[in-house]
Amino acid sequence: MARKNAKARARIGRPPAGAREGERVKDYPQLSIRVPAGVRATLQALSVVRSRSQWRLVVEAIDCYLRNRPAAERRVVEELSSRTHGRASARALTGLRRPARRRTQRK
């Protein structure tokens, strides 16, 4: 007869590493930006020194920047980002993309 382990088996592989419990980074939208070589090198060095992923460092930097902005500006940013986040979330849940722009013929 096979023995059953009293403890639940640990999942194989790395645990999800999202910003919130259970989220997976690979499910996040991607962002591609161009920065000077020095900025990229600094981000990579900070990532190694702090033992944190680059995306987490960017999120922390944005949060720090916003904390130092006036309250009125933070409210506007929060309102605008909640609108964008709501649309992006709805598309992610339904699997829909933005409709393609119709090209008009020039005369």
Q: Report yes or no on 72 lying in a domain.
A: yes
Question: pLDDT tens-digit profile of 19-37?
Answer: 777 788 888 888 899 999 9
In 3D space, the residue among 82, 18, 10 whose CA is nearest the CA of residue 55 turns out to be 18
Q: Which SS3 state, helix, strand or coil, does residue 85 take?
A: helix
What pLDDT is attached to residue 43?
A: 97
Does a structural domain hold residue 83? yes
Phi-psi region of 51 (alpha: psi -120 to 50; beta: other; left: phi over 0): left
Distance CA(107)–CA(97), nearest Å, equals 30
Q: Tell me phi and psi for residue 81, to 5 degrees.
A: -70, -30
- Domain extent, residue 69, equals 37-94
pLDDT value, residue 21: 73
How many domains are there within the chain?
1
Q: Which two tokens stand for residue 52?
A: 């944190």
Rounded CA-CA distance 81/85 in Å is: 6
- 28 domain-assigned: no
Chain CA centroid to CA 102, Å = 30
Per-residue pLDDT tens digits for 49-86: 999 999 999 999 999 999 999 999 999 999 999 887 66
Q: In this model, does residue 45 exceed pLDDT 80?
A: yes
What's the predicted TM-score (pTM) here? Answer: 0.60
Q: Which pLDDT does position 93 carry in this prediction? A: 47
Q: Nearest to residue 88, comparing CAs of 11, 23, 28?
A: 28
